[in-house]
A = this chain, B = another copy of it.
Amino acid sequence: MKPLDYPSAVLELIAALKRMPGVGSRGAERLALWFLQHGRSDADRLASALTAATGGVGICPECGFFSESGQSCAACADMTRQRGVFCVVEQPTDVLPIERCGTYRGLYHCLGGKISPLDGIVPEDLAVESLLARVRRQPGCEVILAVGSDVEGEVTALYLAEHLASLDCTVTRLAQGMPAGAGLGHADRITLTRALEGRRSL
């Protein structure tokens, strides 16, 4: 007697679902069975969406944000945005959190990571040259360094500031201090030190 198992197409679906981050063996099996029992139209929809997204979504050649394949992204193409302000972020996924604040009206520049020698990421791996080229084309512009406030982010910010110093631009950094709604008791020492250093008169 052969031990019974799912048809091979179901096993392959379980294996493919398991590749997703945060989905384990049991979760992948449950999802696969859900697709087969209740979600056949959802399965077709997801299959088309995956194909469309991997085939039709690219990276903006200007700033590195997601765009329709081979085209500039919606931000770079929007001529009503301030052309002389560049918000430099690590990843394209960092763009929308800033955009959702609703107050920023300039352009973006995605580095594609942060300097991290331990992970083998050196400045040459990041979109630094293209940032310098954009700044050179916009004399008098402002460059907002919106990289993370961890060690690698600080190193990246310092590196960029050094290379931008000789160009005709203002370089700023996101304020560091207490997060909104947090009590003093929960703040770590470095956050509190930076909040003190950056104190402002009321």
Interface of A toward B, CB cutoff 8 Å: 1-7, 9-10, 12-13, 15-17, 19-22, 27, 30-37, 39-40, 42-54, 56-57, 65-68, 73-75, 78, 80-81, 91-93, 95-96, 99, 102, 105
Contact A49 B99, beta carbon cutoff 8 Å: no
CB distance from A130 to the nearest CB of B (A): 18
Are the C-beta atoms of B51 and A44 separated by less than 8 Å? yes
- Nearest to A58 among chain B residues (CB) is B7
> Roughly how many angstroms separate A82 CA and B79 CA in the complex, as a whole number?
74
Given contacts A43-B53, A78-B1, A78-B2, contact A34 B10 (CB under 8 A): no
Q: Can you identify 8 A-B contacts, CB atoms within 8 angstroms?
A: A5-B74, A5-B99, A6-B96, A9-B49, A13-B46, A20-B31, A20-B42, A47-B50
Q: Is the CB of A37 within 8 A of B93?
A: yes
A45 touches B74 (CB 8 A): no
Which residues of chain B are near A32, meaning CB under 8 Å?
53
Q: Are B16 and A46 in contact (CB under 8 A)?
A: yes
Bound CA span A19–B43, Å: 9
**Interface pair B50/A43, CB less than 8 Å apart:** yes
Q: Which B residues are in CB contact (< 8 Å) with A67?
A: 7
Contact call A42/B68, Cβ cutoff below 8 A: no
